Structure 1
Amino acid sequence: MAGTSVVEQAPEPPADADAPPEAVADRATQRWVVAATVVGAVWRIGVLISKWSQGLLFNDSLYYSFQAHSNAHGNWFRLVFTNGPGAEHPPLASLLMTPASMLPHAVFWQRATSTVLGIAVIPLLGLLGLRLGGRRVAILAACIAAVYPNLWMNDALVMSESTASLLMVVVLLCAWRLHQRFDRRSAMLLGAVIGLAVLARSELILLAPLFGFIGWRNHDHRKWIKRASLVLVSTGMVVLPWMVYNLTRFEQPVLLSTNDGGVLLGSNCDQTYSGAQIGGWLTGCFDGFVSLPGEDPSQLSRRERSAALHYISNHAGRVPLVVAARLLRTADLYGLPDLVRMDVADERARWASWSGIVCWWLLAPFALVGLWRSRRTVGWLLCPPLLAGVLTAALFYGAHRLRSPMEPVVVVCAAIGIVSCVGVGRSRAAA
């Protein structure tokens, strides 16, 4: 038909069908996603400006900020307070904030860096929604991402959450590409991006073996093994330089960070095994545990890990209950006052934390519907981040901060679920 573009003729794939290999947004979809991005950017920039003169609290933001500042002055990856070798967290978030640390008012510009990364999540979630569920899902995913508190309240923090959320969306886009093409380049690209995600949050190493199952059922097993191996090898190649660097700096082997001992010790003590804070993480678990003279972070982490494992073995009967509490906390079904307390300690506004909980309650049922409706097509691509989040919570503790890499998945699943429910409702009304 003359005067009609190919884009206008292309039918929109339903939310419960596999997206076409070259899903294309029409102009209306693009305008909606851009509008959502602008709204989300204005809100996030407003939050950023409100923190212009706000200092850092005594939390992990001190580490990220100090390390970025040290990097900017040529003193690479140092530890706050002692200026010794630092690997309390993986390096990527600090590296991304290093250029901003060369500017006056460095903390503000570090916040601005995180804010820009958070804004970028919005259009990328729209693109992911387009690939997985079509144009309506793309628009809805971008709109939800623009206003979802569990995304934006991380974006002006000097931490790794915004970096991890952004990379999680990119990982999912690369996983979709591998699912569609199943070629070597796509496998290597997916592995490389997972490696970057690991350099932002060490627990995301779980994504590599989980995404390695792409193509297991639909392709020859020899070919699948080759692609899975490429994903794993590419992940390892990206992470390897940081691992080797750490092996030259510490007395004990350090693969990704020296924080594992502290995370385990802070989540395995009397206070986190019973009472209102069961399943959480507390600095009180460190009472009486101090660094020894001449001890480097790797040696301290080893002692912390040993003490935590000793406590776990002595309280094995409580472990199933504690793990259940951790998972319920992750799902915002238990320990809400303590979860908000932890958010406030990490510089999130109390009202934002509570609004995030309410929004989670609203989105989670639709996310489950979306995951179920797309289970036979692309839904399983969204499972690895969810499984990684569940495993992380079960092993360590339940908190919004640990759940942050899952939030983009919740957004796109909820968008699929809402579009699906609306479609079913219209079909019944038409009948």
Structure 2
Amino acid sequence: MSAPMRPHHPDDDARRPWRPLLAITTLALILRLAVTLGFEPLPPLFSDAEYYDVAARSLANGDGYSVQLTDGAFLPGGSATAFFPPGYSFFLAVPYAIFGPGVDVARLANVLAGALTVPVVYLIGARLFSIRAGLLAAALAAVFPGLLFWTPVMLSETFFTFVFALAVLCSVTALRDGRLSWPQVALAGFVTGLAVLVRGQALILLPVAVLWWWISGIRPRDALLGGGLALAAAAVLLLPWSIRNFTVFDAPVLLSTNFGYNLRVGHAPYANGRFIDPADLYDLVDEGENFELVLNDEGARLALDYALANPGREAELSLQKVRWLWSPDSDVVLWLSSFGRTPLSGSTESAIAWTAQLSHWTFLLLLIPGLATLGLKQPGVVFAGLLCLAWTAVHVVFFGEPRYHLPLLPVLLPIAAAGLLAAWQRVSPAADQAAIAVRE
């Protein structure tokens, strides 16, 4: 005779989180695959997406990190480049080399990266808050429209969010029982180096981690030593790329040549707080000069001159950059429609834009009960606050775009999840008492 089946208890999922996590991750994979199959965006001409695709094709063909600039589009081959950090193109080059280059292959690679972000969100939430908060945060990440809709677009956001979330996870798990685990610190630095090779902004994670370790009780000396070790581990990945750039350009290009270009976007008479093409730089390139280096050097010079000469305008631009950074990312519609090359129906565009707006503001509202429940001194809240402040400051230096806040979601979603759980715990006893009263 078989033993009677024990009724399911809510704590079971907390004791065995891998079962619900597997289901949530599977859901994330299915949803991202469905969105990717439902839209077929093409990289717009002379866009970041086209550059990443072409550079990945060059790598897969054995031509190195190179792009050929023509009057009509970017093409594989040509001259060595470093205009964008190489990480995303290297990521795409692997499936390109195995399955052949193609936009569909890149989209599926994004599907995988997006789905794998979900268990990382769980681990961050479980480490900083609780297992249940981690599971709910993972569920939110699985269905969050901002993370879903960008999946088919060949921009670095989806892959970068995954790698950056891994770096965050390694940074917070390096602190255990009031001590730093030096192997974990080194791993955090190494993974942060990977993230920097995708987007340079990831480097701010190292000082944020050092400050958080110190606030969490680590002696200043040990926190600084941890920061030095993490930086050294990151340098293992970054130095070879910097040496390659110096060899190619005969100039000290540490990561990419778009530093000055991006500065000019944010500091110019025509600047509006978000991306706008700094067309005035193109006329400064003389025949025979390296196009990328001129844009980098002249962009930095003009941006600095403008910022120093216009302090009032700079204050106004700073506010605009913050507003754009934390705005709903409804302009994903433009990328899904390839800026008109693969048009969507009016109803589809409206539905996507409405969903992006609603989910964004709902998410921000959910942070309020989370912060109220956890308190501003809770370690996870402190880490998220430091990271958001540093992230915002970086984009005030350059410029803001709504999609640029996506990499912060793996840290912010657990706070919203904790708030929802706290609200449910307050409501649940009252609901149970009401049900008992009805039965009686």
Q: TM-score band (shorter)? A: 0.7 to 0.9
SS in 2 for 1:383: helix
1:288–1:220: structure 2 CA closer, same or farther, 3 Å change rule?
closer
Structure 2 counterpart of 1:118, one-letter code? G
Aligned to 2:234: 235
- Contact 2:58–2:67 (CA<8 Å) still a contact in 1? no
- 1:49-98 per-position Cα deviation (integer Å, ceiling 9, x unaligned): 2345x532121011100110000111111124262221111111111110
TM-score, with structure 2 as normaliser = 0.83
User: Which of 122, 126, 130 is equivalent to 1:130?
Assistant: 126
| CA distance in structure 2 between the partners assigned to 1:162 and 1:352 by the alignment | 18
Aligned to 1:418: 420
Give 1:10 shift: 12
Identity of aligned residues (%): 24
Aligned to 2:391: 389
Aligned to 1:407: 409
- Contact 1:279–1:322 (CA<8 Å) still a contact in 2? yes
Give 1:117 shift: 0.4
| CA distance in structure 2 between the partners assigned to 1:287 and 1:199 by the alignment | 25
Structure 2 counterpart of 1:88, one-letter code? F
Q: 1:330-349 alignment to 2 at 5 Å?
A: 330-332=325-327, 340-341=330-331, 344-345=334-335, 347=338
| CA distance in structure 1 between the partners assigned to 2:423 and 2:240 by the alignment | 47
SS in 2 for 1:126: helix
| CA distance in structure 2 between the partners assigned to 1:261 and 1:345 by the alignment | 25
Matched, 1:280 2:274: yes
Aligned to 2:204: 206
Q: 1:30-49 alignment to 2 at 5 Å?
A: 30-49=18-37
Structure 2 counterpart of 1:194, one-letter code? T
Matched, 1:292 2:292: no
| CA distance in structure 2 between the partners assigned to 1:187 and 1:10 by the alignment | 35
- Contact 2:333–2:352 (CA<8 Å) still a contact in 1? no
Matched, 1:67 2:21: no
Q: 1:6-155 alignment to 2 at 5 Å?
A: 25-27=14-16, 29-51=17-39, 54-58=41-45, 59-81=47-69, 83-102=78-97, 103-104=99-100, 106-155=102-151
Give 1:235 shift: 2.1
SS in 1 for 2:175: helix
- 1:78-137 per-position Cα deviation (integer Å, ceiling 9, x unaligned): 124262221111111111110222334522101211221011111221222222222321
Tell me whether 145-154 or 219-228 shows the greater mean CA deviation: 219-228
Give 1:285 shift: 4.9
Matched, 1:268 2:267: yes
- Contact 1:213–1:228 (CA<8 Å) still a contact in 2? no
SS in 1 for 2:214: coil
SS in 1 for 2:248: coil
What value does the CA root-mean-square deviation take over the aligned residues? Answer: 2.9
Structure 2 counterpart of 1:209, one-letter code? P
1:281–1:289: structure 2 CA closer, same or farther, 3 Å change rule?
farther
| CA distance in structure 2 between the partners assigned to 1:208 and 1:110 by the alignment | 30
| CA distance in structure 2 between the partners assigned to 1:99 and 1:302 by the alignment | 33
| CA distance in structure 1 between the partners assigned to 2:199 and 2:44 by the alignment | 21
Give 1:173 shift: 1.6
Aligned to 1:17: none
Aligned to 1:326: 321
Structure 1 counterpart of 2:391, one-letter code? G
TM-score, with structure 1 as normaliser = 0.84
- Contact 1:63–1:79 (CA<8 Å) still a contact in 2? yes
SS in 2 for 1:271: coil
| CA distance in structure 2 between the partners assigned to 1:425 and 1:393 by the alignment | 40
- Contact 2:149–2:332 (CA<8 Å) still a contact in 1? no
The number of aligned residues is: 402
Aligned to 2:352: 352
1:287–1:40: structure 2 CA closer, same or farther, 3 Å change rule?
same
- Contact 1:25–1:130 (CA<8 Å) still a contact in 2? no
- Contact 1:326–1:393 (CA<8 Å) still a contact in 2? yes
| CA distance in structure 2 between the partners assigned to 1:412 and 1:118 by the alignment | 17
Tell me whether 115-124 or 131-140 shows the greater mean CA deviation: 131-140
| CA distance in structure 2 between the partners assigned to 1:408 and 1:80 by the alignment | 36
Gap runs ≥5 in structure 1: 13-23, 273-277
- 1:152-200 per-position Cα deviation (integer Å, ceiling 9, x unaligned): 2222222211121112221222122112151211111111111111111
1:248–1:363: structure 2 CA closer, same or farther, 3 Å change rule?
same
| CA distance in structure 2 between the partners assigned to 1:260 and 1:340 by the alignment | 27
Gap runs ≥5 in structure 2: 71-77, 434-440
Aligned to 2:185: 187
- Contact 1:85–1:249 (CA<8 Å) still a contact in 2? yes
- Contact 1:51–1:108 (CA<8 Å) still a contact in 2? no
SS in 2 for 1:79: strand
1:106–1:30: structure 2 CA closer, same or farther, 3 Å change rule?
same
Structure 2 counterpart of 1:363, one-letter code? F
1:413–1:353: structure 2 CA closer, same or farther, 3 Å change rule?
farther
- Contact 2:371–2:381 (CA<8 Å) still a contact in 1? yes
1:9–1:421: structure 2 CA closer, same or farther, 3 Å change rule?
closer
- Contact 1:36–1:143 (CA<8 Å) still a contact in 2? yes
SS in 2 for 1:295: coil
Q: 1:157-196 alignment to 2 at 5 Å?
A: 157-180=153-176, 181-196=179-194
SS in 1 for 2:155: coil
State which structure, 1 or 2, has the greater radius of gyration over its C-alpha atoms.
2
| CA distance in structure 2 between the partners assigned to 1:226 and 1:287 by the alignment | 42
1:111–1:429: structure 2 CA closer, same or farther, 3 Å change rule?
closer
